[in-house]
């Protein structure tokens, strides 16, 4: 059995489609969202004579003038900028909806301009219709040639019928070649040709023209300034200047023979490289020639670009193997660099890549065997024969990279910048080598354990162990070095940074000795109290107990502080270090 298909007539389909679309539109109008139009805000309206730019118009009877109207409005759309024009006296002057004014008879009328979107605002233009009209305009000159930068004053002769206005409007056809003032003074500003026009302001259309040709000043010489560089470092900018003997010269054109070596920098506010002085940028090492041309003359200057590398040699040495954890290490830098202002030293921990920055200590050290150096503050360098000496205290132990950073200097010895004004210093880094900074605390703990193993046994009580350790320290210790003449501490550079356990006799005082006993107590699980800070300094109790460490468990007192007269020396007889023959601990590659 076949399937019957019923075909609707086209008219029926069209009617139903229209009904469906109407329903959709009705739904959109009732339940849909309609976007509100933005509010129109008219801020200001101005209107002037399109010919003169003035709000006052002197118009000959029967002549026309067109208004130029500007409406400041948001949204900034043409539909919102419509205005209406109205004359206060149509017998004197009429105005069309396009702003075209026609003078009817002598007198004064005001043209009121109102925005269609805000009738409360208005602009007013005064129209003075005069009886006469301009019949001719002539200039005292019709053509001429000027040198760039020069001026000429034009005089307009205006003839009118009785009662006419002799006002004229001055215009130029090309402001880049010549400009003209409201008084008819023409100034040549660029080479080329321009037409200066004096036109009657009364709407009569009468005018006269002056054709001016502007050329560059003849003669003159050009040369690069005396401070033009012949060498520049890569990644640097430098300004070069062209000197022109004639102030009225044409545009300077610049060229580089190899932009991959030297290229020009377009400065802010410019579309091209222009002017008598320009910035050049050094892209890579090589040689390029800069050429400047103006008014048919040209000059060239060859500039070499090179990479900046350290100009001096450096060798870094330690008087003794360096230790971290605040030990004071003496460093001797052998170099031909004449000033510490020209370079910096950097230390980097190779394990982390972080700077192992030397500690800044608010103190100065004098060394009996380096009397010529005087007081030295840690982390600063001091001039000596063949280089510099400094005291450095590190916090991080391990393999450390030593790098010198040298500054580029100009001919006057000043640090160079990578660009004029606010640039960064031009620097070069060189790795001098590596040094192994030892772990003071770790080695100290190992030495302490060796003392415990040497003087104690497993059968001893903790108290007996501490008594044995104290006896050992008392037997092997002397006081810190003191000057025999004044009793002050004496620092020896030859021993700088060397741990106390490296010597046959250990140097201690009343501050360091109870601290060491307290540390020993922790290692053998026999806690001690350091009495150095228990009492107020200077009191009788403090003098009696400040060198003592007391057992927290049983109250036993322990001390080994050596007598202060056990290490007196005559500082005048201390041998001075000869850096030229010292067996340094040097860095390695």
pTM above 0.95, yes or no: no
Asked, colleague to colleague, whether 134-215 and 314-441 share their fold, the answer is: yes
**Residue 27 CB coordination number (10 Å):** 10
Q: Where are the alpha helices (DSSP H) in 305-368?
A: none
Domain ranges of the chain: 56-130, 134-215, 222-306, 314-441, 456-573
* Residue 238, helix vs strand vs coil: strand
Could you say which of 3.40.50.10420, 2.40.30.10, 2.102.10.10, 2.60.40.1080 is the CATH number of the domain covering 134-215? Answer: 2.60.40.1080
Task: Say whether pLDDT at 396 is over 60.
Answer: yes
Average pLDDT of span 111-121: 89
The domain made up of 56-130 has a fold known as: Immunoglobulin-like (2.60.40)
Please tell me the predicted confidence (pLDDT) of residue 219: 60
385 touches 333 (CB < 8 A):
no
Question: Which segment, 43-47, 104-108, 401-405, is predicted with the most confidence on average?
Answer: 401-405
Please tell me the predicted confidence (pLDDT) of residue 35: 55
Q: Give the Cα separation of 278 and 238 in Å (integer).
A: 8
State the chain's maximal CA–CA distance in angstroms: 139
Question: Which residue is it, tokens 């399109």?
Answer: 50
pLDDT in tens, 287-325: 999 999 988 899 999 999 999 999 999 999 999 999 999
Residues 6+ apart with CB under 8 A from 338: none
Residues 6+ apart with CB under 8 A from 388: 332, 333, 335, 340, 381, 382
pLDDT band at 10 (very low <50, low <70, confident <90, very high): very low
Please tell me the predicted confidence (pLDDT) of residue 59: 86
Q: Give the Cα separation of 570 and 572 in Å (integer).
A: 5
Question: Which residue is it, tokens 């009343």?
Answer: 510
Please tell me the predicted confidence (pLDDT) of residue 241: 94
Please tell me the predicted confidence (pLDDT) of residue 250: 82
pLDDT in tens, 203-219: 899 999 999 998 876 66
Using the Cα atoms of residue 44, residue 49, residue 51 and residue 54 in order, give the sign of their dihedral: negative
560 touches 513 (CB < 8 A):
yes
CATH number of the domain located at residue range(s) 314-441 in this protein: 2.60.40
Q: Give the Cα separation of 576 and 110 in Å (integer).
A: 104
- How would you class 558 by CB atoms within 10 Å of its CB: exposed for 0-12, middle for 13-18, buried for 19 or more? buried
Please tell me the predicted confidence (pLDDT) of residue 24: 41
Could you say which of 3.40.50.300, 3.40.50.720, 2.60.40.1080, 3.20.20.70 is the CATH number of the domain covering 222-306? Answer: 2.60.40.1080
- Bridge partner residues of 479 (DSSP): 508
Please tell me the predicted confidence (pLDDT) of residue 421: 82
CA nearest neighbour of 222 among 241, 236, 207: 241
Angle at 191 between CA 189 and CA 192, to 5 degrees: 115
User: If you average pLDDT over every residue of the chain, what do you get?
Assistant: 90
Q: Give the Cα separation of 463 and 469 in Å (integer).
A: 10
């Amino acid at each position: 059995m076949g399937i019957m298909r019923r075909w609707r007539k086209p008219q029926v389909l069209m009617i139903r489609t229209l009904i469906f679309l109407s329903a959709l539109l009705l739904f959109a109008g009732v339940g849909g969202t309609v976007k509100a139009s933005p509010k129109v805000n008219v801020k200001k309206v101005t209107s002037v004579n399109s010919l003169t730019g003035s709000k006052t118009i002197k118009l000959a009877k029967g002549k026309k003038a067109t208004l130029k109207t500007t409406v400041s409005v948001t949204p900034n759309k043409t539909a919102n900028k419509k205005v209406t024009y109205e004359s206060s006296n149509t017998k004197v002057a009429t105005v069309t909806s396009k702003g075209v004014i026609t003078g009817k008879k002598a007198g004064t009328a005001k043209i009121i301009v109102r925005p269609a979107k805000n009738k409360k605002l208005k602009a007013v233009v005064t129209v003075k219709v005069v009886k006469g009209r301009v019949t001719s305009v002539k200039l005292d000159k019709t053509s001429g040639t000027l040198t760039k930068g020069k001026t000429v004053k034009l005089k307009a002769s205006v003839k009118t019928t009785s009662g006419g206005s002799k006002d004229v409007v001055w215009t130029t056809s090309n402001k880049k070649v010549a400009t003209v003032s409201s008084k008819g003074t023409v100034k040549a500003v660029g080479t080329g040709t321009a037409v200066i026009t004096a036109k009657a302001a009364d709407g009569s259309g009468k005018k006269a023209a002056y054709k001016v040709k502007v050329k560059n000043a003849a003669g003159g010489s050009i040369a690069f300034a005396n401070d033009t560089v012949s060498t520049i470092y890569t990644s640097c900018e430098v300004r070069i200047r062209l000197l022109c003997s004639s102030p009225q010269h044409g545009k300077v054109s610049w060229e580089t023979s190899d932009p991959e070596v030297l290229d020009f920098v377009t400065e802010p506010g410019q579309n091209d490289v222009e002017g008598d002085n320009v910035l050049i940028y050094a892209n890579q090492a090589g040689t390029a020639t800069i050429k400047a041309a103006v008014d048919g003359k040209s000059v060239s200057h060859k500039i070499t670009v090179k990479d900046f590398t350290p100009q001096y040699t450096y060798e870094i040495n330690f008087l003794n193997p360096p230790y971290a954890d605040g030990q004071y290490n003496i460093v001797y830098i052998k170099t031909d660099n004449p000033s510490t202002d020209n370079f910096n030293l950097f230390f980097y921990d190779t394990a982390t890549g972080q700077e192992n920055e030397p500690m800044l200590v608010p103190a100065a050290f004098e060394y009996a065997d380096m009397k010529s150096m005087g007081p030295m503050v840690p982390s600063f360098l001091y001039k000596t024969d063949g280089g510099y000496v400094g005291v450095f205290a590190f916090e991080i132990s391990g393999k450390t990279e030593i790098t010198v950073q040298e500054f580029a200097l100009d001919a006057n010895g000043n640090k160079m910048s990578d660009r004029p004004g606010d640039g960064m210093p031009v620097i070069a880094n060189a790795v001098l080598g590596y040094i192994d900074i030892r772990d003071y605390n770790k080695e100290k703990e190992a030495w302490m354990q060796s003392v415990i193993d040497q003087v104690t046994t497993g059968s001893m009580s903790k108290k007996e162990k501490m008594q044995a350790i104290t006896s050992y320290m008392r037997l092997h210790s002397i006081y810190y070095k003191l000057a025999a003449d004044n009793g002050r501490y004496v620092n020896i550079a030859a021993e700088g940074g060397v741990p106390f356990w490296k010597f046959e006799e250990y140097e201690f005082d009343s501050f360091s000795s109870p601290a060491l006993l307290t540390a020993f107590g922790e290692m053998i699980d026999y806690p001690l109290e350091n009495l150095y800070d228990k009492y107020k300094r200077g009191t009788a109790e403090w003098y009696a107990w400040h060198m003592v460490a007391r057992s927290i468990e049983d109250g036993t007192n322990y001390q080994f502080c050596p007598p202060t007269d056990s290490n007196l020396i005559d500082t005048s007889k201390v041998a001075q270090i000869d850096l030229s023959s010292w067996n340094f601990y040097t860095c390695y590659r």
